[in-house]
Amino acid sequence: MCGIYGVYDGEGRVAQYRCSSGKAWAEEASRLLQHRGPDGSGCRMLMGGRCLLGHCRLAIIDLEGGAQPIANEDETIWVILNGEIYNYIEIRERLIGKGHRFRTQSDTEVLVHLYEEKGHSLLDDLDGMFAFAIADEKNGRLFLARDRFGEKPLYYAPLREGRGLAFASEMKALFPFPGLDGHLDIPAVAQFLAVGYVPAPRTHLRGVRKLMAGEALSLAPGAALRTWRYWQPKIEVAARPPSREAAVESVRKRVAQSVRLRLRSDVAIGAFLSGGVDSTYIAATIRELQPAAKFSTFCASFDDRQLDEAPYARRVAEHLETDHHEVHFSPGDLLAIFDQLIDDYDEPFGDVSMFPTFAVCRAARQVCKVMLSGDGGDECFGGYSEMFGHYRWHGVRRTAWASGVAMRLFRYWGRDWRGVGLIEFLSKSDLELLYPAERLGAISSSFLPDYRDAAESGLRELEERALEHARLPYPLSAFEATASSYLPDQIMVKVDRASMRASLECRAPFLDPSLMQFAAGLPIEYHFASGMGKAILRKALPAWVPREIRWRQKRGFTPPLCAWLRCELKERMENTLDGNMGELKYLLDPSPARELFRQHLAGSDHSNSLFRWMVLSRRCHDVILN
């Protein structure tokens, strides 16, 4: 896990790029990414001054010999990597058999030799989390790629109408790049207010884009910048699926193999443990693979008993005999890092669980350098309530008479009356469940007239993506949509920034391509049982896991934002909506948000929408609007 940055300019002017402070941009980028790689740094000018590659290293594999950039035998191909190639040992053995000579034991070095063999098609062979840049001196080409699930980020700023670019692991390293277009991206702001994050390829700045999960980029002399998707999650139910029992056994084997690969490390490894299904499964698999090993587990503990999962985690840890750590948080602990952490994400990011995530990562870093997590379990196995809620009623909902009656009832049904959730569910089509157009359409009313068209274009992009997934019946469409955007652009962004801010590497065994493909091919009914999702995963848990953990309802890893907005954050919210908006006052009308806040103080819960306004006012306070 590291930080990477670089520049490609076909005119050979790389050395001239300097920040407003007079420093070379590469020097400033390295400083800004040092938290991602505090163990070493390297920078190299290539292609006769047309390309620069820079790297900040967090040493995990081959601690002594893995410094980057790394080259092939004749130094015509160079690479910088952020992340890990988990199957590097198997790839290395094949390449040595073909005559390639290696200088290091690093996983990174397999990339240059594999590129020699397969070019861009090397991506087909990789199992890992990665964002890398390869400089091909022979062909004068720069090649960038991001892993299938978007675990590792990669931002870029096109130069000279797409004939060059600067890139980096985080936006903050691009902010000081000379000539960067810092104008606000209005469609991206609308998307953020709608979903709480900015979906790739947009960012909140017009001059910066990000590679999508499973996307690659190539740039060569005389050619325009080219991007393409080499992988996307697709839900295709197998024509002849295995039995439920066979599916459970296959999941056990696949998860064990994925964990085995992700335990490859030359430094200490631990695991996050909430006491939920996903983290319990990963921790139990580590113990199964390493019966005598000592490893550490970490859990968050809250004052609020409704949020506190520590007792469940403690019970699992005692059975597994781990070195268990409970990291306790009070509202004051999290609020103390409030502004700092919002800024660390660079883009507007509206998931309040980033605060406890960072705090647990910071505590874990005192003991371990690598942590395994349960991220991806919900996306693979249907763990979100939108997927399994009212699942048995889909057949009724799709009949014209039922939906018609439900629509009429919903107009008059009190929002606090019993059964309102089911009535609303029955009133909606498959597309409306996936894309609530009425709710998202209201976002445009917050934009002032001059910018409303641009905002609506961003919302239409969200609708177009939903329509792509809506070829599938709900909730299969939700499985695919969640894996396509929410997973890489929200979950993985949260985990990457929180962990790397603490110089900690996080690995997610559920995000294994073969495991995801297998789960995506199972009949939808396999995933649901007893009114809950992840039925296959629950059944695959070891026999010793007690029922109260095996069949626990999903509980989000979130602090009490709803209560904070009525107490600790009330004044701040009022200031946000009553004048502390900076340049945003020329873009947005806060009146709809003020009404939401009034309702929130009166007892409704609009915390997610209000938090997005708070984040936006901080991250976009001084951006250039026109």
Number of CB atoms found within 10 A of residue 386's CB: 15
Over the stretch 333-343, which tens digit does the pLDDT of each residue have? 778 888 999 99
- What ranges do the domains of the chain cover? 2-229, 244-382+480-550, 560-626
The strand pair at 370-372 and 505-507 is best described as parallel
Over the stretch 336-372, which tens digit does the pLDDT of each residue have? 888 999 999 999 999 999 998 999 999 999 999 999 9
Per-residue confidence (pLDDT) for residue 427, from 0 to 100: 83
Given a cut of 80, is residue 418 above it in pLDDT?
no
Q: Give 301's strand partners.
A: 328
In sequence order, what are the residues at sequence separation of 6 or more whose Cβ sits closer than 8 angstroms to the Cβ of residue 554?
276, 277, 378, 383, 384, 385, 532, 533
Of the chain, the percentage scoring pLDDT greater than 70 comes to 97
Alpha-carbon gap, residue 328 to 307, rounded angstroms = 12
Per-residue confidence (pLDDT) for residue 20, from 0 to 100: 66
Per-residue confidence (pLDDT) for residue 28, from 0 to 100: 95
236-250, 293-307, 449-463, range with the lowest pLDDT? 293-307
432 against 590, higher pLDDT = 590
82-91, 228-237, 435-444, 612-621, range with the lowest pLDDT? 435-444
Per-residue confidence (pLDDT) for residue 612, from 0 to 100: 96
162 against 70, higher pLDDT = 70
The DSSP code sequence of 389-414 is TTGGGHHHHTSHHHHHHHHHHHHHS-
Query: Any idea which fold 244-382+480-550 has?
Result: Rossmann fold (3.40.50)
Per-residue confidence (pLDDT) for residue 555, from 0 to 100: 72
Specify the CATH architecture of the domain 2-229. Answer: 4-Layer Sandwich (3.60)
Given a cut of 90, is residue 417 above it in pLDDT?
no
Per-residue confidence (pLDDT) for residue 72, from 0 to 100: 96
Residue 381 buriedness (CB in 10 A; 0-12 / 13-18 / 19+): buried
Torsion sign (Cα): 153, 301, 270, 548: negative
251 against 552, higher pLDDT = 251
Given a cut of 80, is residue 562 above it in pLDDT?
yes
Per-residue confidence (pLDDT) for residue 554, from 0 to 100: 76
Sheet holding 269-272, edge to edge: 323-329, 296-302, 269-272, 370-372, 505-507
Distance (Å) of CA 230 to CA 132, 214, 233, 423, 471: 15, 6, 11, 41, 21
Residue 570 buriedness (CB in 10 A; 0-12 / 13-18 / 19+): middle
Given a cut of 90, is residue 495 above it in pLDDT?
yes
Where on the phi/psi map is residue 50: left (φ > 0), alpha (ψ -120 to 50), or beta? alpha
Residue 626 buriedness (CB in 10 A; 0-12 / 13-18 / 19+): exposed
Given a cut of 90, is residue 238 above it in pLDDT?
no
pLDDT tier, 549 (very low <50, low <70, confident <90, very high otherwise) = very high
pLDDT tier, 256 (very low <50, low <70, confident <90, very high otherwise) = very high
**Six token digits for residue 313:** 């985690």
In sequence order, what are the residues at sequence separation of 6 or more whose Cβ sits closer than 8 angstroms to the Cβ of residue 18?
24, 25, 178
Buried (b) or exposed (e) across 105-136, using 16+ Cβ within 10 A? bbbbbbbbbbbbeeeeebbeebbbbbbbbbbb
Per-residue confidence (pLDDT) for residue 414, from 0 to 100: 63
pLDDT tier, 303 (very low <50, low <70, confident <90, very high otherwise) = confident
119-133, 287-301, 435-449, 504-518, range with the lowest pLDDT? 435-449
Please state the rounded mean pLDDT for residues 225-251: 95
Alpha-carbon gap, residue 35 to 502, rounded angstroms = 7
**Gyration radius of the chain's alpha carbons:** 24
Given a cut of 80, is residue 557 above it in pLDDT?
no
Per-residue confidence (pLDDT) for residue 401, from 0 to 100: 77
Are 2-229 and 244-382+480-550 equal in CATH topology? no
Given a cut of 70, is residue 194 above it in pLDDT?
yes
In sequence order, what are the residues at sequence separation of 6 or more whose Cβ sits closer than 8 angstroms to the Cβ of residue 505?
1, 58, 60, 84, 369, 370, 371, 499
Given a cut of 90, is residue 114 above it in pLDDT?
yes
Given a cut of 70, is residue 254 above it in pLDDT?
yes
DSSP 8-state assignment for residue 183: B
Alpha-carbon gap, residue 288 to 280, rounded angstroms = 12
**Contact yes or no for 332/305 (Cβ under 8 A):** no
Closest to 9 (Cα-Cα) out of 22, 26, 31: 26
Given a cut of 70, is residue 19 above it in pLDDT?
no
**Contact yes or no for 44/52 (Cβ under 8 A):** yes
pLDDT tier, 611 (very low <50, low <70, confident <90, very high otherwise) = very high
The end-to-end CA distance of the chain, in Å, is 38
Per-residue confidence (pLDDT) for residue 16, from 0 to 100: 80
Longest dimension (CA), the chain: 75
Given a cut of 80, is residue 23 above it in pLDDT?
no
Sheet holding 226-229, edge to edge: 70-71, 77-85, 128-136, 141-146, 215-219, 226-229
Given a cut of 80, is residue 419 above it in pLDDT?
no
Over the stretch 469-488, which tens digit does the pLDDT of each residue have? 999 999 999 999 999 999 99
In sequence order, what are the residues at sequence separation of 6 or more whose Cβ sits closer than 8 angstroms to the Cβ of residue 292?
none
